[in-house]
Structure 1
Amino acid sequence: MCIEVKICGLSTPETMTAAIEAGVDYVGTVFFPPSPRAVTPSRAGELLAPVGDRATKVGLFVDAVDALIEEVLKAAPLDLLQLHGSESVERVAAIKSRFGVPVMKVIKIRGPDDVSRVENFLEVSDRILFDAAPPADLENPLPGGNAVSFDWTYLKGKAWPKPWMLAGGLTADNLARAVDLSGASALDVSSGVEDRPGIKNPDKIRAFIAAAKVI
């Protein structure tokens, strides 16, 4: 089984290089100012320029207006737009149509019934990402990257016509179990390779990718 890996929230040349050299499949930059992982469009352009075609370049947006997406795309060579907010089906379709860049809609999971929401987005999304919904009692939660997971068995045995990723509380230590329980073939990690929110550790990045590639 070949497990693909996305490292989200990269914000320094050192961590970007570590991810690329370790064989990452997707590199993600965040364009949501409240996040400690956020970068400016120009900074993202600098970080992503050396990546070339060695990994798919992903930009994370949260209920973003067209002006921000346009500004980012002018500065950074993104291959995929990750829509991590409360975007409607119509909004996802409009973003894909206007900018001509593939989109990945995030479905936030708290209980088993949330999984069915994916059906609404299959026609308008190129990819799907299942992430844990922020806990209701968490102070100042972010849309993602909260170091929490959901019950991975909610996804076991499911099949959709679009490729999908699993996110939420993943680490090098638990990713094998996550794959076994969910059936995921692609993993997205952010907080699980950090020393603290927004500060990624190159050694943890390398360890995560290495663990995923031996499953």
Structure 2
Amino acid sequence: MAQVKICGLREAAHVDAAVQAGARYLGFVFFPKSPRAVTPDQAAALGAEVPPGVARVGLFVNPDDTLLKDTLAVAPLDLIQLHGSESPARVAEVRALTGLPVIKAVGIAAPPDLEQLWDYGLVADMLLVDAKAPPGADLPGGNGLAFDWRLLAGRRLLKPWLLAGGLTPHNVAEAIRLTGAPGVDVSSGVETAPGHKDAGLIRDFIAAAA
């Protein structure tokens, strides 16, 4: 079974649904422009009852040191996800600052974009291979877009990785088959509207990734 990350969680019922269905990672978004954004206090409450073995991931977009420190002072997190234009050097800085493993999201649209996977693989603990956001998009991810998964076929990455971008309960099994992804990440694909998760879709997605 591929490891599953359910991202953009905002309600306890959906955290419970993800945990009970077998999610390995739970994502909490600290990016105000996102319809899935939560405060550190909200994330702390949502993550309080998460059992051992399920990782709480904080998603940040180009955060400064103050935001990271202030968030971690309130919300216990197990991993940091960087989903902006952070450089490899910044990834290393965040890892040293927080003392936590870092997931770096890398947007892919065409073959040249794959070169970044090597550079970030040298400094991040895990990679999240996502569809590149369209020019001018307000959100760097969670746009429901997919890229050509065949670009990853047979490709070996330096670090463990998750596939993201346009995944749904209906296509996740095919995406895993084409890419060999050891893990998958979903946000909009288990929603009925932006920011509104559906417990049934969460369960269906995790079952389909098995």
Structure 1 and Structure 2 fold alike (TM over 0.5): yes
> Is 2:10–2:36's contact at 8 Å kept on the other side of the alignment?
yes
Q: Which residue does the alignment assign to 1:52?
A: 51
Q: Which one of the candidate residues 127, 149, 152 is aligned to 1:152?
A: 149
Opposite residue 199 of structure 1, the aligned amino acid is H
Q: Which residue does the alignment assign to 1:199?
A: 196
Opposite residue 76 of structure 2, the aligned amino acid is P
Q: CA deviation at 1:140?
A: 4.2
Sequence identity percentage:
50
In structure 2, what is the Cα distance between the partners aligned to 1:18 and 1:29? 15
In structure 2, what is the Cα distance between the partners aligned to 1:181 and 1:174? 11
- After superposing on structure 2, the runs of 4+ consecutive aligned residues of structure 1 that deviate more than 3 Å are none
Q: Which residue does the alignment assign to 1:30?
A: 29
In structure 2, what is the Cα distance between the partners aligned to 1:65 and 1:190? 24
Cα-Cα RMSD? 1.0
In structure 1, what is the Cα distance between the partners aligned to 2:158 and 2:93? 21
In structure 1, what is the Cα distance between the partners aligned to 2:169 and 2:104? 25
Query: How many residues are matched?
Result: 210
Q: Which runs of 5+ in 2 are unaligned?
A: none
Q: CA deviation at 1:113?
A: 1.2
Counterparts of 1:24-103 in structure 2, within 5 Å, are: 24-103=23-102
Secondary structure of the residue aligned to 1:101 is coil
Q: CA deviation at 1:201?
A: 0.5
Q: CA deviation at 1:66?
A: 0.9
In structure 2, what is the Cα distance between the partners aligned to 1:97 and 1:74? 16
In structure 1, what is the Cα distance between the partners aligned to 2:137 and 2:91? 26
In structure 1, what is the Cα distance between the partners aligned to 2:12 and 2:38? 12
Q: Which one of the candidate residues 159, 183, 186 is aligned to 2:183?
A: 186
> Is 2:154–2:180's contact at 8 Å kept on the other side of the alignment?
yes
> Is 1:20–1:54's contact at 8 Å kept on the other side of the alignment?
no
In structure 2, what is the Cα distance between the partners aligned to 1:76 and 1:62? 17
> Is 1:147–1:168's contact at 8 Å kept on the other side of the alignment?
yes
Opposite residue 21 of structure 1, the aligned amino acid is Q
Q: TM-score, normalised by structure 1?
A: 0.95
